[in-house]
Every structure is written in C-alpha cells, then in structure tokens.
Amino acid sequence: MEPADSLRARIPGWGADLDPADRPSYPREQPGIQTGAHWDFPERQPEKWPRERSVEHAFVTPVFGTSTPPAGVSGAIRKYAYKYSEGRAAHWLLLIAADRVDATEHHLKSLATLRPDNPITETGVLSEFRRGGLSSRVGQKRADVSHQWMDPIIVAGPWVLAAVGLAAAYRTLRKEREEQPDD
C-alpha cells in the first residue's frame, strides 16, 4: 500500500480532508460551537388523517402537504410502501406503482362522468401532425425517440382495455338475457 504522502503528491486533491486543521467541516465537529443561528422547533401541523411515515424517521416534519389524502387501491399501495425502508427498492417501486394505479383510477372515474378524458386532444398528439412532429424526430438526437414506440401503448392501452372490458360485459349480459326462460 502506498503511503499517504506519495498518494497526495500523485493524485491532485487526494487526502484533502485527512488533516483536521485543513478540514472545512472540522469546526462544526466540535460540540458547543456558537453559530449565531437561533431557531425554535415550529408548531406541529395537525394531522387530519394518519400520514405515511418512513421507518427511518420518528415523526413527520412539522409542516407537510395535505392536498390529497391516500385513497383507494393506490392509497393502500402507498401505505404498504412505507413499511419498507427508503433505502430499499421495494419502497420506491411500490410508490411508482401506486402513482400508476392512481392514474388508472382517475381514468376510470372520468369514464363515469359526462365529460370523460379525451386522450387525443389532451396529450397533444394532434400537434405532432400540425407542427412538424415527424420532422423533429427523424435524424435528431432527442432522448424521447428511443422510447416513442411505447407512447401509443401507454396512452391508448387503458382505453383499449376499457373498451374490451365493456364489450365483454355487454356480451355477457346479453347472453344471460337470451338464456333466461320467458315466464
């Protein structure tokens, strides 16, 4: 193993924090140093519903967002994600899955309204044909070109599945009505 002096001479910046006298954070390592900052812990925001808490933290920050409480299947997935440490992939993958489920829940809710979502106009797909969308993608080094083949599947997929599901439900109901004997 090379001695520290030869490494310091050979590699610029190596061992810059070895000497406590040269260490920028060294004074902060001394307990009781006066920084001049005066800060009191703020009053806690009331919890209207149980908040998700990371297993790494004893309590939630004094102020937190309350715009959307966890609800439905996505809320259950989100609550389950917080049973895992933030250092594990399961925590983050479950949160991503909860976001996708939440989007699906909202798409399904919109189908039950008088004005459902319109993926053609709301995704900006019409501007691809009006504003030179194809010419901006061909021969360019855009990051989204590599995954653009997935876009129709992601955008139209839920709508196609919903249509297939409704058609299957309609056929099943019609078949049951035809099989019922007339009284």
Query: Residue 124: inside a domain, yes or no?
Result: yes
Q: Higher model confidence: residue 119 or residue 108?
A: 108
**Dist CA 73 CA 94 (whole Å):** 12
For the chain, what is the domain count? 2
Query: Residue 153: inside a domain, yes or no?
Result: yes
**Dist CA 109 CA 88 (whole Å):** 32
Q: Higher model confidence: residue 3 or residue 26?
A: 3
Query: Residue 155: inside a domain, yes or no?
Result: yes
Q: Is the pTM of this model over 0.75?
A: no
Query: Residue 47: inside a domain, yes or no?
Result: no
Q: Higher model confidence: residue 147 or residue 140?
A: 147
86 and 130 in a single domain? The answer is no
Residue 148: partners with Cβ closer than 8 Å, 6 or more residues away: 137
3-state helix, strand, coil in the chain (%, to 5): 50, 0, 50
What three-state secondary structure class fits 98? helix
96 and 125 in a single domain? The answer is no
Token output for 172 = 């099943």
Query: Residue 11: inside a domain, yes or no?
Result: no
Q: Which domain holds residue 79?
A: 53-58+70-105
Query: Residue 15: inside a domain, yes or no?
Result: no
Query: Residue 3: inside a domain, yes or no?
Result: no
Segment of 6-10, 25-29, 163-167 carrying the highest mean pLDDT: 163-167
31 pLDDT band, cuts 50/70/90, is: low
Mean pLDDT of the chain: 79
95 and 128 in a single domain? The answer is no
123 and 167 in a single domain? The answer is yes
Q: Higher model confidence: residue 152 or residue 31?
A: 152
pLDDT digits (tens, 9 = 90+) for 113-122: 888 777 777 7
